[in-house]
Amino acid sequence: MDPPYDLTVIIPTFREGENIGAIIRAVGEVLTRAGIRGEILVVDDSSPDGTIPAVRALEDVFPDVRLVVRTSDPGLSQSVVEGFSLARAPVFLVMDADFSHPPDLIPRFLEEIRGGADVVIGSRYTQGGGTEGWPISRRIISRGATLLGRILFPEITDPVSGFFALRREVVTGAPLRPRGYKILMEVLGKGRWEKAREIPYVFMDRRAGSSKLRPGTILDYIRQVLDISRHAFSHREGAAWEEWEKILRFAVVGCSGIVVNMGILWILTRFAGIYYLISSIIAIEVSILNNFFWNDRWTFGKMPEHRTRSFASRIMLFHGVSAMGAAINWDFLFFLTQFAGINYLISNLIGIIVAFGWNYLVNRNVTWRRG
């Protein structure tokens, strides 16, 4: 038997009495116009305002509107996950009730899924996307959250989007631990998917009511990133694991570079009788070449898609990034010791960590960037 629907639109709500009626109508119209057999599933956390009666009133008019009223464990992510378990279509789409996410784009999400994507993400941070009506503070927080998320999912420009679609199979049996606001990260970190697509959109500030973003949201988010990493380490598969694998390999190669550097320095100075500062220049260059070679063969070498640049430009970029990394290391050593009164060994350690982050991220996304 065919599934009764092509698409389930999941709308989590809390205190959306002023928006929910209008968004249901808008989504309903878009679905009808596009010839999509869709159901609209509103997952509400016992809103005390008029949200529930507003949906009930529409349930009687539109047969494809369903309301679930949750009474325990409230939360946006929890509601979305409950929506996954109750949805009847093979494809789910999640969106906000407050018109921040344009309903007109819904058919494009489904098109991308039909074209083979497992996950389709509405992105504010790709060409053509953006945010409108946000104060600078919210922009900064959002940018920071996005950058942290992109360490785990570099190919995705907006891994914390609240506007996304997925095939049912992506989350079937996935050990989702919904918490906080970033349910998409959880899906990307623990779901089964290979192909992700992004659709640019402009996030509009909510039409009515107020946002429920709390200070604890940021902490929740950091915990979630750690939890997804833990999951990646124990399952050793999926996109987040692939990134961690590269980070670990890059670190191993970095350590091998230290051994090479010290070894050459010692051999040249001790046995070849070369002045130690001259030996050091040779030792540094050989260790850079050592690191380049192993990163090229091993860290990023498993995946030919990382070789979008010529050998010459890879090796040149790697040298530039390393030089800049050394300067960063040295700046931290100097400024933290000189002006912050921190012990020079600790300053140096901090410098090494920051330089490592720099080296990894730039090499990952520039030197060996994917096509």
Nearest Cα residue to 36 out of 100, 116, 111: 111
Give yes or no for residue 179 binding ligand GDD (CB under 6 A). Answer: no
Binding region for Mn ion (CB under 5 A) out of 94-102, 216-224, 259-267, 308-316: 94-102
Q: Say whether residue 138 binds Mn ion (CB under 5 A).
A: no
Cα–Cα dist 32/357, whole Å: 49
CB atoms near residue 75 (< 10 Å): 20
Antiparallel, parallel or unpaired: β 164-167 and 38-44 = unpaired
Q: Which of 17, 21, 38, 75 binds ligand GDD (CB under 6 A)?
A: 75
Residue among 64, 98, 112, 186 that touches Mn ion (CB under 5 A): 98
Question: H or E stretch including 32?
Answer: helix 20-34
Q: Which is nearer to ligand GDD, 181 or 318 (CB)?
A: 181
Q: Is 88 in the site for ligand GDD (CB under 6 A)?
A: no
Which residue in 352, 346, 345 sits closest to 328, CA to CA? 352
Kindly tell me which residue out of 30, 64, 117, 142 binds ligand GDD, with binding defined by CB under 6 A: 142
Nearest Cα to Cα of residue 168 among 107, 89, 249: 89
Asked if residue 178 binds ligand GDD (CB under 6 A), the reply is no
Q: Does 186 engage in binding with Mn ion (CB under 5 A)? A: no
We find the least distance from the C-beta atom of residue 345 to ligand GDD, in angstroms, to be 40
343 half-sphere exposure, CB direction, 13 A CA radius: 3
Instruction: Please state, in angstroms and rounded to a whole number, the distance separating the CA atoms of residues 259 and 98.
Output: 57
Question: In this structure, is the dihedral angle defined by the CA atoms of residues 19, 101, 91 and 170, taken in order, positive or negative?
Answer: negative
Task: Please list every residue from 307 through 336 that binds ligand GDD, using CB under 6 A.
Answer: none
Q: How far is the CB of 21 from ligand GDD (least distance, A)?
A: 13
E strands of 36-190, at which residues? 38-44, 65-69, 91-94, 119-123, 130-132, 164-167
Q: Does 133 bind ligand GDD (CB under 6 A)?
A: no
Q: Is 79 in the site for ligand GDD (CB under 6 A)?
A: yes
Q: Cα-flanking dihedrals φ and ψ of residue 11, to 5°?
A: -120, 105
Nearer to Mn ion, 88 or 206 (CB): 206
| Chain residues 5-44 in contact with ligand GDD, contact rule CB under 6 A | 12-14, 16, 43-44
Of the pair 207, 236, the CB lying nearest ligand GDD is at 207
Where residue 312 falls (left for φ over 0; alpha for ψ -120 to 50; beta otherwise) is: alpha
159 binds ligand GDD (CB under 6 A): no
Q: Smallest distance, Å, CB 178 to ligand GDD?
A: 11
- Mode of pairing for the β-strands spanning 164-167 and 119-123: antiparallel
Cβ-proximal residue to ligand GDD, closest one:
162
Q: What is the DSSP letter of 127?
A: T
β-strand partners of 200 = 123
Do residues 103 and 7 lie in contact, with contact meaning Cβ atoms separated by under 8 Å? Answer: no
Applying CB under 5 A, the span of 49-57, 76-84, 97-105, 334-342 interacting with Mn ion comes to 97-105
Q: Which does 45 bind (CB under 5 to 8 A by kind): ligand GDD, Mn ion, none?
A: ligand GDD
Among 61, 140, 147, 213, binds ligand GDD (CB under 6 A): 213
Spatial contact of 71 and 79, defined as CB atoms under 8 Å apart? no
- Give the interface segment with ligand GDD, choosing from 71-79, 147-155, 241-249, 315-323 (CB under 6 A): 71-79
Selection from Mn ion, ligand GDD, none that 13 binds (CB < 5 to 8 A by kind) is ligand GDD
- Out of Mn ion, ligand GDD, none, which partner does residue 159 contact, by CB within 5 to 8 A per kind? none
What CA–CA distance (Å, rounded) separates 57 from 39?
16
Say whether residue 161 binds Mn ion (CB under 5 A): no
- CB 221 → Mn ion: shortest distance, Å? 16
Question: Helix (H, G, I), strand (E, B), or coil: what is residue 77?
Answer: helix
Tell whether residue 118 is a contact of ligand GDD (CB under 6 A): no
Q: Which residues bind ligand GDD (CB under 6 A)?
A: 12-14, 16, 43-45, 74-76, 79, 96-98, 100, 142, 160, 162, 181-182, 206, 211-213
Q: Which residues bind Mn ion (CB under 5 A)?
A: 98, 100, 206
